[in-house]
């Protein structure tokens, strides 16, 4: 059956070509020289704000650490997701176990492109899908601030992921689909300055969409349901809708939102819980203007109904 | 067979009826907690005038609320399902859960003992108390939508 042989041959060629294309398409891409040139010298005082906006300690502090111990970024938290368990590594200034030996360009490639100094892809559990929208100069400021934090030795355990998610190269395809430095919500010229500033904080360093936006089959955020709430990727339960759509927080005023970010209290004096507690404590370290900007942006974005399925009514 | 199914669902009903009350009771106590702290935080933020006697009364009410919060009675085994946002972790780590409530009660008592003389002093105390709310809700509560 010569036709069968031919078919197998074609399939083989296609397969090899596909794999080769996949290999090329999945290659890690680092920042270009023009972007690196925008990093600038960096300022630790300004970087402190970016550190809290970015919530680095929520994932990289030792689990359960309180107070100043949250500045010891030894890693070790277990993020249990459907893809497996991710463990944020030591990013303290220890030159061996942490990132004390990294250059500012190394940090910028990690945060803006998800690429390691040795040219490997990071998993998007490190929320660079959001950090990619940050200004290079803010990364340089953050770098300067991280330099002021203690060096702590000790390696965190490795990620434990099932096949095929354990193959880093495959992340290159994910990046082609989802990695972008462009804003999620287009805002017209003449949009008030606080809304613009809020967009930057929410969509970039604040990475609010990573938890509050539902994801598609490949783990990308659904931009058409931006911040509509989602089934929690980690820890169970749901993450609420923070748009003004049905089920969301349309009845919260801008100052209710800003107050929640500062104190953790909702307008009816419930107190924030779950993964939001760390986020809120970080937000409390920002200025009142920054919190007001975030609130202004949340009031300005398109409303959506809840991005997670309704729970079955309990039988009572 | 049909009978068995009915019998089982009756059992389930009976079980959820038995637990309906502790869930409602603990939620009512939490709501009251929220209301009191809400009022105090308005004073701490200078949105309402500071009146030392009224503030002390509110702090005492908060202490009474916490002293009524009998975890063994309010969180019986099996009351993690139903219309509740209590996380299963409460029953996996009952000692840890109780320790957070104990710290909360201690902070409330300390605030009563050192009755605040001005809004600034109250602000510090509300900050500590509010942080205890967050710590417990962080580990022991799950929003289910």
Residue matched to tokens 């009410």: B61
Element (H, E) at A85: strand A84-86
Say if B10 falls within a structural domain: no
pLDDT at B33 over 80: yes
β strands within A212-308, DSSP E: 230-231, 238-239
Asked if residue B94 is part of any domain, the answer here is yes
pLDDT at B14 exceeding the cut of 50: no
A266-308 tens-digit pLDDT: 999 999 999 999 999 999 999 999 999 999 999 999 999 999 9
Q: For residue B14, tell me if it sits in a domain.
A: no
Question: Taking Cα atoms as reference points, which of A132, A146, A145, A238 lies closest to residue A183?
Answer: A132
Region of residue A8 (left: phi > 0; alpha: psi -120 to 50; beta: else):
alpha
Residues of A with Cβ-Cβ distance to B34 under 8 angstroms? 265, 268-271
- pLDDT for A54 beyond 70: yes
Instruction: Read off the pLDDT of each residue in B86-94 and give the average, rounded to a whole number.
Output: 96
* Section A187-207 average pLDDT: 97
Q: Give the span between the Cα atoms of A263 and B40, in whole angstroms.
A: 13
Q: How many structural domains are present in chain B?
A: 1
Domain membership flag for residue B128: yes
> A interface mutation test: which of B23, B123, B143 has the most A CBs within 10 A?
B143
| Full strand arrangement of the beta sheet holding A84-86 | A79-81, A84-86, A160-161
The CATH code of the domain that includes B99 is 1.20.120.10
The DSSP secondary structure of chain B, one letter per residue, reads -HHHHHHHHHHHHHHHHHHHHHHHHHHHHHHHHHHHHHHHHHHHTTSS---HHHHHHHHHHHHHHHHH--HHHHS-TTTTSSS--B-THHHHSHHHHHHHHHHHHHHHHHHHHT--SSHHHHHHHHHHHHHHHHHHHHHHB----
Task: Supply the range of the domain harboring residue B62.
Answer: 22-140
pTM for the whole structure: 0.91
Query: Mean pLDDT in chain B?
Result: 88
Residue (of B113, B80, B101, B81) closest to B29 by Cα position: B101
Nearest-angstrom CA–CA distance, B87 and B136: 11
Between B63 and A217, the higher pLDDT residue? B63
Average pLDDT over residues A305-314: 77
Q: What is the pLDDT of residue A235?
A: 72
* Higher pLDDT pick, A81 / A236: A81
Residue B129 with chain A: CB contacts under 8 Å: none
Least confident of A231-235, B74-78, B99-103, B107-111: A231-235
B66 lies in some domain:
yes
Write the ipTM: 0.86
Residue B13 has pLDDT above 70, yes or no: no
Residue A115, strand partner residues = A121
As a whole number, the mean pLDDT across chain A is 92
How many residue pairs bridge chain A and chain B with CB atoms within 8 Å of each other?
Answer: 78
> CA nearest B50: which of B116, B128, B110?
B116
For A207, half-sphere exposure in the C-beta direction (CA atoms, 13 angstrom radius) is: 27
Contact A228, A241 (CB under 8 A): yes
- Find the CB nearest A265 among B20, B85, B130: B130
For residue B60, is it within any domain?
yes
Q: Tell the residue number behind the tokens 């030795």, with chain if given.
A: A153
User: pLDDT tens for residues A71-121?
Assistant: 999 999 999 988 899 999 999 999 999 999 999 999 999 999 999 999 999
């Amino acid at each position: 059956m010569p036709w069968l042989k031919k078919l197998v041959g074609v399939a083989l060629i296609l397969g090899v070509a596909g794999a080769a294309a996949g290999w090329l398409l999945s290659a890690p891409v680092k920042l270009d020289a023009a972007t690196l040139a925008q990093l600038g010298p960096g300022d630790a005082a300004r970087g402190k704000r970016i550190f809290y906006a970015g919530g680095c300690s929520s994932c990289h502090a030792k689990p359960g650490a309180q107070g100043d111990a949250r500045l010891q970024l030894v890693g070790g938290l277990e993020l249990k997701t459907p893809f497996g368990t991710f463990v944020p590594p030591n990013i303290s200034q220890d030159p061996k176990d942490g990132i004390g030996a990294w250059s500012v360009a190394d940090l910028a490639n990690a945060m803006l492109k998800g690429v390691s100094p040795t040219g490997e892809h990071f998993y998007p559990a490190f929320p660079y899908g959001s950090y990619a929208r940050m200004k290079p100069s803010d990364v340089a400021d953050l770098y300067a601030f991280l330099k002021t934090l203690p060096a702590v030795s000790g390696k965190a355990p490795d990620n434990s992921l099932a096949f095929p998610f354990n193959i880093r190269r495959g992340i290159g395809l994910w990046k082609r689909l989802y990695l972008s430095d462009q804003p999620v919500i287009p805002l017209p010229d003449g949009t008030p300055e606080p809304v613009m500033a809020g967009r930057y904080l929410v969509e970039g360093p604040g990475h609010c969409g990573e938890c509050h936006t539902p994801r598609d089959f490949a783990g990308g955020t659904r931009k058409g349901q931006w911040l509509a709430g989602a089934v929690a990727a980690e820890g169970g339960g749901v993450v609420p809708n923070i748009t003004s759509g049905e089920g969301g927080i349309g009845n919260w005023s801008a100052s209710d939102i800003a107050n929640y970010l500062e104190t953790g209290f909702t307008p009816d004096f419930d107190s924030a819980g779950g993964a939001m507690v760390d986020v809120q404590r970080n937000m409390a370290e920002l200025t009142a203007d920054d919190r007001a900007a975030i609130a202004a942006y949340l009031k300005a974005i398109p409303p959506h109904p809840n991005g997670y399925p309704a729970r079955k009514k309990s039988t009572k | 067979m049909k009978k068995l199914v009915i019998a089982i669902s009756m059992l389930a009903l009976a079980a959820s009826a038995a637990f309906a009350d502790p869930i409602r009771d603990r939620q009512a106590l939490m709501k009251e907690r929220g209301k009191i702290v809400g009022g105090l935080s308005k004073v701490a933020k200078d949105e309402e005038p500071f009146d030392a006697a009224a503030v002390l009364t509110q702090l005492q009410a908060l202490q009474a609320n916490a002293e009524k919060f009998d975890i063994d009675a309010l969180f019986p085994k099996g009351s993690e399902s139903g219309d509740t946002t209590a996380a299963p972790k409460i029953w996996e780590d009952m000692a840890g859960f109780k320790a957070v409530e104990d710290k909360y009660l201690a902070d409330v008592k300390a605030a009563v003992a050192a009755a605040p003389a001005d809004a600034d002093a109250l602000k510090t105390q509300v900050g500590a108390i509010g942080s205890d709310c967050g710590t417990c809700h962080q580990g022991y509560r799950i929003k289910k939508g």
